[in-house]
């Protein structure tokens, strides 16, 4: 989506371009002055343009970015690197190719609860991890993800544009391939823009060692060959309807309705759930660990509303609120705010904050129990876990809250004979806690760096 009304001030233009991203917005203002000069000038021979770069680089853009996310206490570490190359033939045609690598290592909660005794956790390929008494059971993880995507934006007619994309990703135990399509319709010199997006993704899971049977007692099955010797797959259809409206020279309003439907294997084959005694709260001997089971369908919907304001003095303030709900009974809300301070001497700072809260899925259980007892939730009591329609102890499906605070720095590169660009650095602190206070508070640091070059 490109917003280029010629009456808007450059302050709002720059802010809109930053908010919507390089593929959706373009700088505003400036060209109207040149057009007026051209209209007023007498007919003459066209001047020979002075090119600052080789001809084959005209309209090219390159961007590299790196994200480092590290949880405290030796938990998950993610290092993501992105390389993006784009070429624009004109204002309406643009090809973008993006390559991504993710390195994941560290340890993640397996789903079972702490015990007063030492626990032995069995994981992929029969590997075991010893968990000391009273500690939250974690299991080591390590993987590398490779992904590539290509997108082409093109016009369909006056005020109508489209964007088609394909993408693929692969990990040791996971592959995915997807397609996406966007349609944009704009009115009033692109003051108002309506967008419609669809995406279809097919994912295939090949868990290390095989696929365990759902809601089965650990030790009652072997992973070799999986439950039925076949891979498990799922299909995801996503959609989004968006509206962007320039309210004034300094205000931009954005709204979106989004949704999706997942169908297929949605269970996490690596997660487990504890089965404890209602009297002692300790895992039952010989049957204290079970696999999980999730529904094989999920439909979700959400609304997002964002407001961007170019304030006096060069300040730019962005705010966004989101609401989410699905048929797993998860209800979530988030609030994001970011303030870009005035840029001076080709550099500037920004401050941002994000708050998120969600309710638990209907089948989420901190643990299962064989009977009533101190601290046992009545909903967790079952005489036979295998008879449950679904059950998971994955903390990500529980009632959570989190808060992110961060600071950013941006620096515009000196305009050279070949190219222009900028680089950005953002540092953030993330804190997440369980609303019931049953899990240790999760704390993490994040660092993001990007470099953009334009020819």
User: What confidence tens digit (pLDDT) does each residue in 244-290 have?
Assistant: 999 999 999 999 999 999 999 999 999 999 999 999 999 999 899 99
Cα 406 from Cα 245, distance rounded (Å): 28
pLDDT grade for 417, boundaries at 50, 70 and 90: low
Q: Which residues pair with 130 in a beta bridge?
A: 120
pLDDT (average), residues 288-316: 95
Cβ atoms of residues 122 and 101 within 8 Å = no
Q: Is residue 52 part of a domain?
A: no
Q: Could you give the CA distance from residue 335 to residue 357 in angstroms, rounded to a whole number?
A: 9
Q: Which domain holds residue 271?
A: 60-454
Q: What is the 8-class DSSP label of residue 71? A: E
Q: Is residue 13 part of a domain?
A: no
Asked, for residue 370, whether it belongs to a domain, the answer is yes
Calpha distance 401→435 (Å, rounded): 7
Give pTM, 2 decimals.
0.83
Residue 39: which H helix or E strand, with range? helix 31-40
The residue among 133, 135, 74, 83 whose CA lies nearest residue 106 is 74
Distance CA 139, CA 129 (A): 7
Most confident region among 20-34, 37-51, 89-103 by mean pLDDT: 89-103
Nearest to 17 by CA among 28, 6, 32, 29: 28
* CATH code at position 220: 2.40.160.40
Interatomic CA distance for residues 364 and 293, integer angstroms? 10
Query: For residue range 193-241, what is the model confidence (pLDDT) as tens digits?
Result: 999 999 999 999 998 888 889 999 988 887 654 444 457 899 999 999 9
Q: Is residue 21 part of a domain?
A: no
How far apart CA 284 and CA 276 sit, in angstroms, is 5
Phi-psi region of 267 (alpha: psi -120 to 50; beta: other; left: phi over 0): beta
Average pLDDT, the chain: 86
Given a contact cutoff of 8 angstroms between Cβ atoms, the answer to whether 234 and 269 are in contact is: no
Strand ranges, E, within 188-271: 192-205, 232-246, 251-264
Q: Could you tell me if residue 10 is inside a domain?
A: no
Query: For the chain, what is the domain count?
Result: 1
For 86, the token pair is 């784009």
Residue 278 Rama label (left phi>0; alpha psi -120 to 50; beta): alpha
Strand locations in 57-137 (E): 60-71, 77-88, 94-109, 119-122, 128-131
Higher-scoring residue by pLDDT: 9, 421: 421
Cβ–Cβ < 8 Å for 61, 455:
yes
Residue 45 token pair: 């021979």
CA 300 to chain centre: 16
User: Do the domain assignments include residue 309?
Assistant: yes
> What pLDDT score does 427 carry?
98
Tell me whether residue 43 is in a domain: no
Judge contact between 291 and 385, C-beta under 8 A. no
- Confidence at 147, pLDDT banded by 50, 70, 90: very high
Mean pLDDT check: name the lowest of 8-22, 296-310, 410-424: 8-22
- Choose among 333, 146, 358, 361: nearest CA to 271: 361
d(C-alpha 334, C-alpha 321), whole Å = 6
DSSP secondary structure, 133-176, as one string: TTSPPEEEEEEEEEEEEEEEEEEEETTEEEEEEEEEEEETTEEE
**Does 29 fall in a domain?**
no
């Amino acid at each position: 989506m490109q917003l280029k009304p010629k009456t808007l001030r450059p302050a709002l233009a720059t802010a809109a371009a930053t908010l919507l991203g390089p593929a959706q917005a373009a700088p505003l203002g400036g060209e109207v002055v040149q057009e007026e000069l051209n209209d007023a000038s007498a007919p003459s021979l066209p001047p020979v343009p002075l090119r600052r770069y080789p001809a084959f680089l005209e309209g090219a853009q390159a961007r590299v970015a790196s994200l480092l996310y590290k949880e405290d206490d030796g938990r998950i570490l993610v290092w993501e690197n992105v390389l993006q190359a784009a070429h624009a033939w004109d204002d309406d045609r643009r090809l973008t190719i993006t390559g991504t690598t993710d390195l994941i290592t560290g340890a993640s909660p397996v789903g079972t609860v702490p015990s007063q005794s030492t626990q032995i956790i069995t994981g992929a390929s029969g590997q075991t991890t010893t968990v000391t008494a009273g500690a939250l059971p974690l299991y080591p993880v390590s993987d590398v993800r490779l992904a590539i995507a290509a997108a082409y934006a093109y016009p369909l007619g006056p005020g109508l544009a489209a964007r088609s994309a394909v993408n693929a990703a692969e990990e040791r135990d996971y592959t995915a391939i997807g397609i996406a399509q966007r349609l944009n319709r704009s009115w009033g010199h692109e003051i108002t823009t309506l967008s419609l997006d669809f995406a279809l993704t097919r994912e295939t899971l090949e868990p290390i060692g095989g696929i365990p049977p759902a809601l089965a007692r650990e030790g009652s099955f072997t992973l070799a060959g999986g439950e039925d010797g076949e891979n498990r797959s799922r299909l995801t259809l996503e959609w989004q309807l968006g509206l962007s409206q320039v309210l004034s020279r300094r205000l931009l309003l954005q709204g979106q309705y989004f949704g999706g439907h997942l169908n297929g294997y949605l269970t996490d084959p690596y997660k487990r759930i504890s089965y404890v005694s209602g009297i002692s709260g300790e895992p039952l001997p010989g049957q204290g660990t079970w696999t999980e089971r999730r529904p094989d369908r999920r439909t979700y919907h959400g609304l997002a509303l964002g407001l961007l304001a170019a304030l006096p003095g060069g300040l730019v303030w962005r705010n966004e609120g989101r609401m989410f709900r699905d048929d797993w009974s998860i209800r979530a809300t988030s609030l994001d705010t970011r303030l870009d301070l005035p840029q001076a001497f080709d550099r500037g700072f920004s401050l941002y904050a994000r708050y998120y809260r969600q309710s638990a899925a209907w089948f989420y259980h901190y643990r299962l129990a064989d009977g009533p007892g101190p601290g046992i939730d009545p909903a967790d009591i079952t005489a036979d876990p295998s008879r449950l329609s679904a059950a998971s102890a994955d903390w990500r499906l529980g009632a959570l809250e989190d808060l992110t605070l961060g600071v950013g720095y941006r620096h515009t590169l000196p305009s050279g004979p070949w190219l222009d660009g900028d680089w950005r650095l953002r540092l953030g602190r993330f804190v997440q806690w369980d609303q019931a206070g049953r899990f240790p508070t999760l704390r993490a640091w994040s660092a993001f760096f990007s470099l953009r070059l334009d020819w």
